[in-house]
Amino acid sequence: MAIRSQKQEGGGPGATVDYAECATRALKRLLDAQGMTYADLAERLSGMGIRETEASISQKVRRGTFQFSFFFQCLDALHVPEVLVKAPSVALTSPLQI
């Protein structure tokens, strides 16, 4: 089941955003940037006490429906201190600062 929404700005009438695909791309890019595989990530998560296998990670990433907490766990496992996350459906000229 794809998680889609009508785009709010840009993209023309009827354009949709596939949020699951965006989540998948984000995690894959992190893994690629670190030169890591799903097996490597599973090993690191295991070292943190998080029980995941290469197959379970592959399924989560392929579906793109993993929880945001899993994304944070992956950041820790990959030793990535921060990432810039942009909403795929909003074309902002500058990041929102709080």
8, part of any domain: yes
92, part of any domain: no
51, part of any domain: yes
- Give the pTM: 0.75
Confidence of residue 93 (pLDDT cuts 50, 70, 90): low
Q: How far apart are CA 43 and CA 53, in angstroms?
A: 8
Question: What DSSP letter does each residue of 12-62 carry, written as one string?
Answer: -TT-EEEHHHHHHHHHHHHHHHHT--HHHHHHHHHHTT----HHHHHHHHH
**CATH number for 63:** 1.10.260
41, part of any domain: yes
pLDDT at 17: 84
pLDDT in tens, 50-87: 999 999 999 999 998 899 999 999 999 999 999 888 78
pLDDT in tens, 11-40: 555 568 888 998 999 999 999 999 999 999
Structural domain containing residue 26: 4-77
Domains: count for the chain: 1
